[in-house]
Structure 1
Amino acid sequence: MGSVGLGRVLEPAGVLPQAAWRLDASPEIGPDEVRIRVRRLNLDAASYRQLAEKHAGDGAAIRAEVCEIVATRGKMHNPVTGSGGMLIGVVDEVGPGSPLPVKPGDLVATLVSLTLTPLRITDGLAGWDGLSEQVPAEGTAILFGRSIVGVLPDDLPPELALAVYDVCGAPALTDRVIRGYGRPVTVAVLGGAGKSGSLTLAAARAAGARTRAVVVSAAERDALLAAGLADEIAIADARDPVAVAAAVGEPADITVVCVDVPGCEHGAILATAPGGTVIFFSMATSFPAAALGAEGLAADVTMLIGNGYVPGHAEFAVGLLRRVPEVRALFEARIAGD
C-alpha cells in the first residue's frame, strides 16, 4: 500500500500529515520515500488571495509570510484557508521500497497538496516577487508511498503544466458526474473564466452538456466569449445568492463552484435544480454553510467535495488542454499576467 507519512508528523501525534500542525521536512528519506529538488511552487488560489489581501499586495510581505509558514510548519499549509497548492521539481533520490513510478532526474509535479508534503525552502524564495501564485523556489520536498506524482509532459512548458495539474481534479470529476446522469444535462460553472472553471467548462462541453458560466466582470465575460467554452455567460457576484440564481436562470442539473472566495455556497445551491448536484471545487468553501444552507432552503441536492483526485485526472486535464486551444490560450494569458 505504501506509507502515508506518519513518521513525518511532529505534532500532534497520531494524525495524518495533512491534519498535522508540523511535519519533519528533513531531506533524509525513508525506504519508501522520494526526495524532490524543488523548482517551483504553485500556491492554491484561495491561499494566495488571502495572503495578498492580508498584506495589501505587498509582495515582500507575502513572500516573508510564505517562508515563515514553511519554516514553522514544515509544509506550505496556510493556517487561515487550510490550503496549500502543489509543486514541480526534479526527482533527487528514490527509496528502495518506493512504489512511485519515478526515477532520479525525472521532472515531476506532485499531484498531492502542499498541506501534507514535507517541504524545506533553502533560498528564502529570493527569485519570487510575491505577486503571483507561481513561486520559483529552491529546496527539498518529500513524497510518501501513498503520494501521487506525475512526470511532466515534454510538449508543455513546466509553468503551464503546473497550472493545469493544480486544478486537474475539477474537470475529471465533472466529467464523471455528467456521464453518471445518462442523459443530457446543463452545467453551470461559477468562476468559469479561471483555471479550474475553464477546464471544467471544456470537460462539460466534451461530455455533451449545455454550459453556463457565471463570471465576476465584463473582462472575464469577454475572455470567455472569445474562448467559446460556454453557451451562456452572465456577470454576477458569486457571493450574492439571489444574483447567482438569476444569472443562471433555469436551475442547472450540475453546478460547479470554482471561485476562490468565501461565501459562494448558497448561490450555488439556489442555482441547482431539485435532484441535482453541486460540486464544490474551492478551498474557500465552508462546508457547514453548504450543508446547513441546503437544509434551510429545503434543497434536495447532492453536494460533493472535489478532493482533487480522480484516477487519470492529470492525463484527462492535459488532454483537454491539447485538444482545446482556447483553453490553452486562457491558461497562457493567466500565466503571462502573473
Structure 2
Amino acid sequence: MTARNSDPTGLHRVLDETVVLPQAARRLDTRHELWPDEVRIRVEKLNLDAASYRQLERKHTAGDGSVDHGAIRAEVLDIVATRGKMQNPETGSGGMLVGTVEEVGPDSPLGLRPGDRVATLVSLTLTPLVIEDGLRDWDGRGEQVPCEGYAVLFGRSIAAVLPDDLPADLSLSVMDVCGAPALTARVVEGYDAPTVAVIGGGGKSGSLSLAAARRAGAGRTIGVVPHEREAARLREAGLADEVVIADARNPIGLRDAVTAAGGPADVTVVCVDVPGCEGGAILATADRGTVIFFSMATSFSAAALGAEGLAADVTMLVGTGYTPGHAAHALELLRDNAGVRRLFEARLAHEAPA
C-alpha cells in the first residue's frame, strides 16, 4: 500500500511538504485502505461546530437578510473535497461525526469493533473524510448534516460507542460539546463554593457547563444570554440562580450585568460562538479567578493582551475539548437534569428540517 509507517497521531496521512500534524495540514490522505492501527467509520451524520456554521451562514447572507443555504452546502462539499477533512478555512474549526465502525486495523488501540455505532470525540479538522453522496439529504440548514461517506481514525483518536437509551441525534449534540462541562467541573472543584458565570448559558455547551458547575459545588451560578427569549428558556430550565441579558461583545455591559447578579465571578466560562467577547469575560471575573474559553471564535491574542492591559490577575484556560471521562460525564448530566435535556431537545427540534 505504502512505504510510510503509520504514526498514532496520523502524521502518515499528511500530504503537506512540511512536517505538521493533521490538524494543521492543508490536505490529508483519504485513501480507503487502512494502516494497521487505524479504524474506518461509515459516516451517517456530521455535526459542524457552531462557530464554523455561523461563519458560513454569515458569509452567505444577502443584504436583504436571506441566507443561501445551497451555497453553504456547496462550500462544505468543496472544503472536504479540497482538504480531505472538514476544516473551515476562516474559523479553523470543524465538528465531529456519527457513524458505524466498518473496519478495524489489527493494531488499533481504540477498542472498537465492526458494527459499533460511534461518535468521534476528535475534531473533523484532523479526521480524513470522504463524502460520497454530495450531501443530497442536507439542505444547508442547521449544524447536523446527514452524510454518506467514510472517515478514518488514528491510534490516538477518540470515539465513544453511542448509548442505547438516547436518540443518536441527542447523543451527538451532547458529545459535540462534552469537553466544556468536564473542564468546568474540574475548575469549580478547585474553589470553595465559587460564583460561576457562563456566557452563552442557554446554548449546548453553556447549559451543560451550568449543570456541571452546580453539581461540582458552585455557590452561585449566573447564566448570561443575549435576549429575553433565551433568558425565558434558561429560567424555565432552572439551571442558573440568576439569568441576565447582556451582549457579550460589550465589555462594560457584560461586567455590570454579571456584577449586578452577584459577581464578579470566580469562574467565568465563555461558550458563545461570536468574536469579541474576551474583554467582557475578563472584566466579569474576580481577581485570582479563572476564565475558561470554550469558543473557537475566541482570539487568544486579544485575551492575553486584554488581560495585560486591564491589569487583570486571572488565569485563562483554553478549552481543548478533551478531559478524561468527558463524554460519560456529559451524558450523565443530560440524563439526570430534565432542564438540560429540554434545552437540547428544543434545539434539535428547531434545527430539524420542516
Task: Pick the TM interval, shorter chain.
Answer: over 0.9
1:62 to partner: Cα distance: 0.3
Tell me whether 1:292 sits opposite 2:302 in the alignment.
no
Cα distance between partner residues in 2 of 1:117 and 1:100: 15
Contact 1:90-1:105 within 8 A present in 2 as well? yes
Cα distance between partner residues in 1 of 2:111 and 2:14: 24
Contact 2:131-2:149 within 8 A present in 1 as well? yes
Tell me whether 1:147 sits opposite 2:154 in the alignment.
no
Contact 1:12-1:21 within 8 A present in 2 as well? no
Aligned to 1:92: 102
1:59 to partner: Cα distance: 1.1
User: Which runs of structure 2 are paired with 1:3-22 in the superposition (5 Å)?
Assistant: 3-22=8-27
Contact 2:119-2:159 within 8 A present in 1 as well? yes
Which residue identity lines up with residue 20 of structure 2 in the other structure? Answer: V
Contact 1:37-1:92 within 8 A present in 2 as well? yes
Secondary structure, in 3 states, of the residue corresponding to 2:331?
helix
Aligned to 1:197: 206
Cα distance between partner residues in 2 of 1:125 and 1:69: 13
Report sequence identity in percent.
70
Contact 1:2-1:98 within 8 A present in 2 as well? no
Aligned to 2:233: 223
User: Which runs of structure 2 are paired with 1:35-184 in the superposition (5 Å)?
Assistant: 35-56=40-61, 57-181=67-191, 183-184=192-193
1:332 to partner: Cα distance: 0.4
- After superposing on structure 2, the runs of 4+ consecutive aligned residues of structure 1 that deviate more than 3 Å are none
Cα distance between partner residues in 2 of 1:52 and 1:197: 21
Cα distance between partner residues in 2 of 1:127 and 1:66: 13
Contact 2:189-2:217 within 8 A present in 1 as well? no
1:87 to partner: Cα distance: 0.2
Which residue identity lines up with residue 333 of structure 2 in the other structure? Answer: L
1:27 to partner: Cα distance: 1.4
1:312 to partner: Cα distance: 0.1
Secondary structure, in 3 states, of the residue corresponding to 2:22?
coil
Secondary structure, in 3 states, of the residue corresponding to 1:322?
helix
Cα distance between partner residues in 2 of 1:253 and 1:295: 18
* Of 244, 257, 277, the match for 1:264: 277
State the TM-score, normalized to the length of structure 2.
0.94
In structure 1, list runs of 5 or more residues that go unmatched. none
In structure 2, list runs of 5 or more residues that go unmatched. 1-5, 62-66
Secondary structure, in 3 states, of the residue corresponding to 2:292?
strand
Cα distance between partner residues in 1 of 2:16 and 2:233: 46
Contact 2:48-2:94 within 8 A present in 1 as well? yes
Tell me whether 1:305 sits opposite 2:314 in the alignment.
no
Aligned to 2:64: none
State the TM-score, normalized to the length of structure 1.
0.99
Secondary structure, in 3 states, of the residue corresponding to 1:11?
coil
Cα RMSD of the aligned pairs, angstroms, is: 0.9
Aligned to 2:332: 319
Contact 1:12-1:20 within 8 A present in 2 as well? no
Secondary structure, in 3 states, of the residue corresponding to 2:189?
helix
Cα distance between partner residues in 1 of 2:111 and 2:231: 41
Which residue identity lines up with residue 5 of structure 1 in the other structure? Answer: G
